[in-house]
Amino acid sequence: MRGKTSKSSLFFIELCASIVLFLVCAGVCVGLFARAHRLSVDSAGLTVAVERATAAAESFRAARNQAEFCAVLGLKEQDGALCADYDENGLAGDGGVYRLTVDVTEEAGTMTADIRVFRGGEELYDLAVRRPGKWGA
């Protein structure tokens, strides 16, 4: 009877040790998984932001006038800046996850577009693009 009790208590101690060990290691591993997930989300966000900024840059270089540039990217004037919203797949639509803003300036016979992509208010990427000449009417 005494041997049986001793065996049960040993098993109980081992079980407790296993649970504690598992909890500690699982905590560390969950942290690693969370970090990997965060990196993955950041990486996807950066790629979409670069892709959107590049599309805007090429549209800026190719457009003949501002109306054409805005029509291609779905840009709307908001608080003095040109803005457009995009969803996770980069499709234009109001209230999207990503926000593209473009600020166009003219200097020394060239035009410069300051392109920025935001997600939830946080700036993901910015790109300055220049093109020779000026837009037509």
Partner 1 sequence: MPFFGGSLLMTVLLIVCLATFAALSLQAAGADYRLSRRYADYTRAYYEADGSACLVEAALSDFAANSLEADDAAAWTAVAAEAGGEDPSAIQGAAGTEVSFFVTLPGEEIRLIVRLRYGAEADDPVRLAWKTEAFGEAAEPEDTHLPVWTGEETP
The footprint of partner 1 (CB under 8 A) covers: 11, 14-15, 17-19, 21-22, 25-26, 28-29, 32-33, 35-37, 39-40, 42-44, 46-47, 49-50, 53-54, 57, 108-110, 112, 125, 127-133
Catalogue the long-range contacts made by 70-73 (C-beta closer than 8 Å, 24 or more residues apart): 73/100, 73/102
Nearer to partner 1, 84 or 124 (CB): 124
Residue 44, classified by CB atoms within 10 Å of its CB into exposed (0-12), middle (13-18) or buried (19+), is exposed
Nearer to partner 1, 39 or 91 (CB): 39
Neighbours of 83 (CB within 10 A): 17
Q: Measure the CA–CA gap between 59 and 115, rounded to whole angstroms.
A: 12
In whole angstroms, the minimum distance from the beta carbon of 79 to partner 1 comes to 25
Nearer to partner 1, 8 or 78 (CB): 8
